């Protein structure tokens, strides 16, 4: 029996064929583009060290929606609910604070064994894992400095933490057969006027060099470094600026991480991708939604998310750009936040794959900017939604908003009892 989704799909295929777009090829390519979901949406960046300490480093998770995960088992259960509602390939991005241990473990002493349960879980799900050292929410980061700290003992602690994290990341890659991207972000900065900026940045550069000094096969592990314009408590000076990390990634051959919320409100990372790709081999994206600052709102299918996807697809950066998400909203159902944000990123990728890019490139090359603008706008109305619904159907996930009912049922039966 032909359903309404089938009928819409057949019409969409014919409509896109008029623009020489093969929708089947688009769906096959979409199935090769994983999105790395971030574990910290599930528990408001609390982690499992169980120290009871406050969230620091300029990070804020606002809201108090009931049902957040309190341990790794609950977090994995919540993730499974979200994963079942999102079509296509996914990865999971872990922070070091999500270790599992019966006893307290200092961050510079974390080992692969503390993440063995995550690896086994990911293996069962057929997913890769990514990783991050956690250089925040710790007594030795309380004064706002880690890898650039003036105290050599404190600096050594954070260097050792990042080195241990690299070994864990490589363990992920070896065990799961897909390279783990490990991103280094530090909150280091000053609230007010800073005199010796050079000294801080020189210490950070030297510390990072020590962190990545052990050579690890890129089949298993990729280093990435992430900049930020400012943070709460670091409004006047951030050691790891965009210029610092672009220079570092270029000269040290690491990946560069661009976070959508880590720039001035009038800047967008979609415009930075083509520039960075001229100088670095790999780019890590943290797709987020800043509202007036790095607020990490849930990703929407908005102009910037779409522009990010267009830059990846138009330039065929499939093997060079690694797509991750970074948002945490504690004011709504956390599983719904994962589902909304991840589905929106995948919708943006699909719409980019369905764009008649060859035709648009020719118009641009011919100098016909009138037709270029006209067609860019007209193609937005092509029936991409019908293609998305078929993609969801093929992956046995809800095509439309009916996924919300599944989340509500889980909230009533599980989350509400926490």
- What is the rounded radius of gyration, in angstroms, for the C-alpha atoms of the chain? 22
Question: Which pTM was predicted?
Answer: 0.95
Q: Are 321 and 274 in contact (CB under 8 A)?
A: no
Q: If pLDDT is split at 50, 70 and 90, which confidence band does 59 have?
A: low
- 362 counts as catalytic: no
Active site residue 185: yes
CATH class of 34-354: alpha beta
| Span of 230-244, 270-284, 322-336 with lowest mean pLDDT | 230-244
pLDDT at position 156 is 98
Q: Is 326 a catalytic residue?
A: yes
Classified as helix, coil or strand, 29 is helix
Could you confirm whether 302 is annotated as catalytic? no
- One of 49, 175, 296, 311 is an active-site residue; which one? 296
Mean pLDDT, residues 319-328 taken together:
96
Question: Which one is catalytic: 43, 78, 130, 294?
Answer: 294
The one catalytic residue in 68, 90, 262, 310 is: 262
Rounded to the nearest integer, the mean pLDDT of the chain is 95
**Location of structure tokens 């096969």:** 217
Query: 326, 329, 355, 389: which is the annotated catalytic residue?
Result: 326
Q: Is 226 an active-site residue?
A: yes
DSSP class of residue 414 equals T
User: What's the rounded mean pLDDT across residues 383-395?
Assistant: 97
The first and second tokens of residue 256, run together, are 């560069």
* Annotated catalytic residue 223: no
For tokens 């008649």, what's the residue? 356
Confidence at residue 57, expressed as pLDDT on a 0 to 100 scale: 52
Neighbours of 140 (CB within 10 A): 19
Catalytic residue check, 196 = no
Domains of the chain, by residue range, sit at 1-31+355-417, 34-354
296 is catalytic: yes
Residue positions forming the annotated binding site for Mn(2+): 262, 294, 296
Cβ atoms of residues 271 and 310 within 8 Å: no
């Amino acid at each position: 029996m032909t359903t309404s989704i089938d009928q819409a799909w057949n019409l969409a295929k014919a409509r896109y064929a008029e623009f020489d777009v093969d929708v089947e090829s688009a769906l096959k390519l979409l199935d090769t583009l994983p999105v790395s979901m971030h574990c910290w949406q599930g528990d408001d960046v609390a982690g499992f060290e169980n120290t009871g300490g406050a969230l620091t480093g300029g990070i804020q998770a606002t809201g108090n929606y009931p049902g957040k995960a309190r341990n790794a088992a609950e977090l994995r259960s919540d993730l499974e609910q979200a994963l079942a509602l999102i079509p296509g390939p996914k990865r999971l991005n872990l922070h070091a604070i999500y270790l599992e241990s019966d006893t307290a473990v200092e961050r510079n002493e974390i080992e692969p064994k503390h993440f063995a349960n995550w690896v086994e879980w990911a293996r069962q799900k057929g997913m890769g894992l990514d990783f991050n050292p956690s250089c925040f929410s710790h007594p030795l980061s309380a004064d706002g400095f880690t890898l650039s700290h003036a105290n050599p003992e404190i600096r050594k602690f954070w260097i050792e933490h990042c080195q241990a994290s690299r070994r864990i990341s490589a363990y992920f890659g070896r065990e799961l057969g897909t390279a783990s991207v490990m991103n280094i972000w530090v909150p280091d900065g000053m609230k007010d006027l800073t005199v010796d900026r050079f000294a801080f940045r020189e210490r950070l550069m030297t510390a990072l060099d020590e962190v990545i000094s052990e050579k690890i096969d890129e089949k298993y592990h990729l280093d990435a470094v992430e900049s930020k314009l400012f943070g709460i408590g670091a409004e006047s000076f951030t050691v790891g600026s965009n210029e610092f990390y672009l220079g570092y990634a270029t000269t040290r051959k690491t990946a560069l991480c661009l976070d959508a919320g880590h720039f001035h409100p009038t800047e967008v990372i979609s415009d930075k991708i083509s520039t960075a790709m001229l100088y670095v081999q790999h780019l890590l994206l943290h797709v987020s939604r800043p509202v007036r600052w790095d607020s990490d709102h849930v990703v929407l299918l908005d102009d910037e998310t779409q522009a990010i996807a267009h830059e990846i697809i138009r330039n065929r950066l499939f093997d060079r750009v690694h797509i991750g998400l970074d948002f945490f909203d504690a004011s709504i159902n956390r599983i719904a936040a994962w589902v909304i944000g991840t589905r929106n990123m995948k919708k943006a990728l699909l719409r980019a794959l369905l764009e008649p890019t060859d035709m648009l490139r020719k118009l641009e090359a011919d100098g016909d900017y009138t037709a270029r603008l006209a067609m860019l706008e007209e193609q937005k109305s092509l029936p991409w939604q019908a293609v998305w619904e078929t993609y969801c159907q093929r992956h046995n996930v809800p095509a439309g908003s009916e996924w919300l009912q599944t989340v509500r049922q889980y909230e009533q039966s599980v989350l509400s009892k926490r």
